[in-house]
Structure 1
Amino acid sequence: MADEEVIALGWQHRLMVRGARLWWRVRRPRTLGVRAIVEDGMGRILLVRHTYIDQWHLPGGGVRKWEATEAAARREVREETGADAAIVRLHGVFHNRSQFKDDQVVVYVARADGNVAPRGDGFEIAEARWFAAEATPDVGPATGRRLAEYRTGATAFGPW
């Protein structure tokens, strides 16, 4: 895919997200999402950079109807990064009301092969990369909180 096509797809996705946020403001739906703190055997964390928002984030997304949250986390990691992750443990369950919806977010700790070169999909994910756990790039506020909890080994619950 040419760079111009990736940029156009990124802008289309940004517009779709803005439309969804407007809909959420009106409807205030309840949603269920997952995120994964994906580690490798070398102490690195897998993060993604979206095409429609700034900063780096944990891979994740929505849970489909009839899908278990653990299966959704593995699917989202695979779709967003190309890595196959094995769930290690539950990190926590959080409540996110930042985008005008009632979002429950289940966060898992997972393990994946660090030799796999992650890749973005060019539409939703601009880039996926491994980072040293103590030297992550500019991450979103919630991602920063989840990584701080992860570093201390805490299981956490509460606001996103």
Structure 2
Amino acid sequence: MALLHRWLAKAARLIWRVTRPRTIGVRAVLLDADDRIALVRHTYIDGWYLPGGGVKKGEGIADALHRELAEEVAIEGAVVERVLGVYHSRREGKDDHVVVYIARAGADTLRGADALEVAGAGWFALDALPPGTTPATRRRIAEYRAGLTGGGTW
């Protein structure tokens, strides 16, 4: 099934290069009570990422954040502290705007909720990120640790 997701993701990226859609995404710097950060590995792309995803048509951005946290890491009721920043990405052929929130999890249990999409999920110390953590994820974490409000290019 993971191979099918990888093929579908490649096909979607090809379509995006032709159609160049404008999209809105949401991600979370999701922290637990011990200030560990939640990261996920997807089945369709390599690397560790902040949990999140696309905002559906007709859906509020904050609603999308809570839906994605439930879908990706089985966390419900996270408390949003603030917006870290709004970023622009042209990767994958899209004109993508990503809103990144700082949020606190009310639960310590973290797991990949959707096995078709999430290959792994875990809590990590901010100074001990796993190998394969993507550069953009590392930049967002560095901005958070420095107390900055981010923005600009993803």
TM-score above 0.5, yes or no: yes
Q: What does residue 120 of structure 2 align with? A: 127
Q: What does residue 155 of structure 1 align with? A: 149
Deviations 1:14-56 (A, max 9, x none): 0110000000010011001000110011010000001111110
Q: What does residue 23 of structure 2 align with? A: 31
Instruction: Using the TM superposition, give the Cα deviation of residue 70 of structure 1 relative to its aligned residue in structure 2, in angstroms.
Output: 1.0
For residue 146 of structure 2, what is the amino acid of its counterpart?
A: T
In the TM superposition, 1:1-160 aligns within 5 A as 9-84=1-76, 85-138=78-131, 139-160=133-154
Instruction: Using the TM superposition, give the Cα deviation of residue 72 of structure 1 relative to its aligned residue in structure 2, in angstroms.
Output: 0.6
- Are 2:25 and 2:53, in contact at CA under 8 Å, matched by a contact in 1? yes
TM-score (norm 2): 0.95
For residue 46 of structure 1, what is the amino acid of its counterpart?
A: A
SS of the aligned residue for 1:142 comes to helix
RMSD value, Cα: 1.1
| Structure 2 segments unaligned to the other structure (5+ residues) | none
For 1:58 and 1:111, the matched residues in 2 are separated by 13
For residue 138 of structure 2, what is the amino acid of its counterpart?
A: G
For residue 135 of structure 1, what is the amino acid of its counterpart?
A: A
TM-score (norm 1): 0.91
For 2:69 and 2:110, the matched residues in 1 are separated by 13
| Structure 1 segments unaligned to the other structure (5+ residues) | 1-8
Instruction: Using the TM superposition, give the Cα deviation of residue 64 of structure 1 relative to its aligned residue in structure 2, in angstroms.
Output: 1.1
- Are 1:120 and 1:126, in contact at CA under 8 Å, matched by a contact in 2? no
Deviations 1:128-151 (A, max 9, x none): 110011111121111010011011
